[in-house]
Structure 1
Amino acid sequence: MPDWLDIVVRSLIFVVVLFLITKWLGKKQLSELSFFEYVTGISIGSIGAEVAMGLERNIMNGIIGIIIFAAIPFLAGLLSLKSKTFRDFIEGRATVFIKDGKILEDNLKKEKYTTDELLELLRKRDVFKVADVEFALLEPTGDLSVMLKKENQPLTPKDVNLTVASVKEPQTVIMDGEILDEPLSTIGRSRSWLKTELEKQGATIENVFLGQVDSYGQLTIDLFDDKLQVPSPQEKPLILSTMKKCQANLELFALGTEAQEAKQMYSNNSKKLQEAIDKVTPILKG
Structure 2
Amino acid sequence: MPEALEVILRTVFAVVVLFFLTKVLGKRQVSQLSFFEYITGITVGSLAAYISLDTDKTWHLGLIALIVWVAFSLGIEYLQIKSKKARDFIDFKSTVLIKDGKILENNMKKEKLTTDELLEELRKKDVFKVADVEFAIMESDGAINVLLTRENQPLTPKHLGIKVAPESETQAVIMDGKIMDEPLDTLNLSRGWLEGELEKLNLNVENVFLGQVDSYGELTVDLYTDNVEVQQPQDKPQLYALLKKCEADLELFSLSTKNKEAKQMYENTSEQLQTLLKRLKPFIQN
TM-score by shorter chain over 0.5: yes
| Distance apart, 1:203 and its partner CA | 2.9
Residue by residue over 1:70-113, the C-alpha shift from the partner in whole angstroms, topping out at 9 and shown as x without a partner, is 11221111111222111101121111111111111111111111
Match of 2:177? 177
- Shift of the 191–237 alpha-carbon distance from structure 1 to 2, 3 Å rule, reads closer
Within the alignment, does 1:124 sit opposite 2:124 as a pair? yes
Alpha-carbon distance in structure 2 between the residues aligned to 1:182 and 1:35: 40
Match of 2:278? none
Q: Which residue of 225, 238, 244 corresponds with 2:242?
A: 238
- Shift of the 142–242 alpha-carbon distance from structure 1 to 2, 3 Å rule, reads closer
Would the aligned equivalents of 2:217 and 2:241 in 1 still touch at CA under 8 Å? no
Alpha-carbon distance in structure 1 between the residues aligned to 2:51 and 2:245: 71
| Distance apart, 1:153 and its partner CA | 0.8
Query: Aligned with 1:234: secondary structure?
Result: helix
Alpha-carbon distance in structure 1 between the residues aligned to 2:244 and 2:18: 56
| Distance apart, 1:163 and its partner CA | 2.4
- Shift of the 15–159 alpha-carbon distance from structure 1 to 2, 3 Å rule, reads same
- Shift of the 57–148 alpha-carbon distance from structure 1 to 2, 3 Å rule, reads farther
Identical positions, percent: 52
Match of 1:144? 144
* Amino acid in the other structure paired with 2:146: V
* Amino acid in the other structure paired with 1:272: M
TM-score by length of 1: 0.81
Residue by residue over 1:238-279, the C-alpha shift from the partner in whole angstroms, topping out at 9 and shown as x without a partner, is 327988xxxxxxxxxxxxxxxxxxxxxxxx99x9369979xx
Cα-Cα RMSD: 2.6
| Distance apart, 1:49 and its partner CA | 0.7
Would the aligned equivalents of 1:48 and 1:66 in 2 still touch at CA under 8 Å? yes
Show structure 1 runs of 4+ deviating over 4 A: 240-243, 273-277
Match of 1:254? none
Match of 1:69? 69
Would the aligned equivalents of 1:92 and 1:140 in 2 still touch at CA under 8 Å? yes
Match of 1:58? 58
Alpha-carbon distance in structure 2 between the residues aligned to 1:76 and 1:103: 34
- Shift of the 242–37 alpha-carbon distance from structure 1 to 2, 3 Å rule, reads closer
Alpha-carbon distance in structure 2 between the residues aligned to 1:117 and 1:236: 52
Within the alignment, does 1:189 sit opposite 2:185 as a pair? no
* Amino acid in the other structure paired with 2:186: T
Would the aligned equivalents of 2:208 and 2:223 in 1 still touch at CA under 8 Å? yes
Would the aligned equivalents of 1:218 and 1:235 in 2 still touch at CA under 8 Å? no
- From the CA coordinates, give the structure whose radius of gyration is larger: 1
Unaligned runs of 5+ in 2: 248-260, 271-286
Alpha-carbon distance in structure 1 between the residues aligned to 2:28 and 2:115: 30
